[in-house]
Amino acid sequence: MARMGRQHVHDRLIDVRQQKTGAALSIPIHPELRAIIDSMPVDNLNFMMTATGKPFTANGFCHWFFDRCREAGLPAGLSAHGLRKAMCRRLAEACCSVPQIMAISGHQTLSEVQRYTRAAEQSRMARQAMEAITETQAYKPGDRFVEKEKNTK
């Protein structure tokens, strides 16, 4: 993330290569991020620069992010890596499939995604699941819906 810049943006996508696995990803750019990118100066190769105008190193960005979290009074232990976990959780809460989450996060295995999405809001997802089954359930003779209809005659 610290090294991303306009050279990675193509056709409403940001093309990145994961540092750890080397996996190539093309991720759609959220409209709010698109507006931010469009408002940024075009003279820097990287989107994020240090206070001295130099590109961040990966380690330098992690330290900078940690310092900003502390200054904001956020709980201890937050890191830039937590942003990836938060995105996975948000995708899970939006009822995205595991393959969809993996396409954004670059995770290679189901177990990795499950570890990242455990924090997803269980009750919200349970309600969405019940709504989905309720909307698609076909009523058969003998169902309460049919019985209720008979009682109204």
Q: Return the closest-CA partner of residue 24 out of 16, 12, 13, 36.
A: 16
pLDDT given for residue 148 in this prediction: 45
Rounded to an integer, what distance in angstroms lies between the CA atom of residue 127 and that of residue 131? 6
Please state whether the predicted TM-score (pTM) of the whole model is above 0.75.
no
> Poorest-confidence range of 3-12, 77-86, 120-129?
120-129
For the chain, give the mean pLDDT: 85
pLDDT in the model for residue 14:
94
> Could you tell me the two tokens for 23?
């996996």
pLDDT digits (tens, 9 = 90+) for 85-135: 899 999 998 889 999 999 999 998 999 898 888 878 787 888 888 888 887
Alpha helices (runs of H) in the chain, residue ranges in sequence order: 31-39, 58-71, 81-93, 98-105, 110-117, 122-136, 144-151
pLDDT digits (tens, 9 = 90+) for 51-63: 998 999 989 999 9
Residue 129's Cβ-side half-sphere holds a number of Cα atoms within 13 Å equal to 10
Beta bridge partners of 24: 17
pLDDT in tens, 28-49: 999 999 999 999 888 888 898 9
DSSP state of 89: H
Helix axes 110-117 and 81-93, enclosed angle (nearest 10): 90
Q: How confident is the model at residue 141 (pLDDT cuts 50, 70, 90)?
A: low
Predicted confidence at residue 147, as pLDDT, reads 44
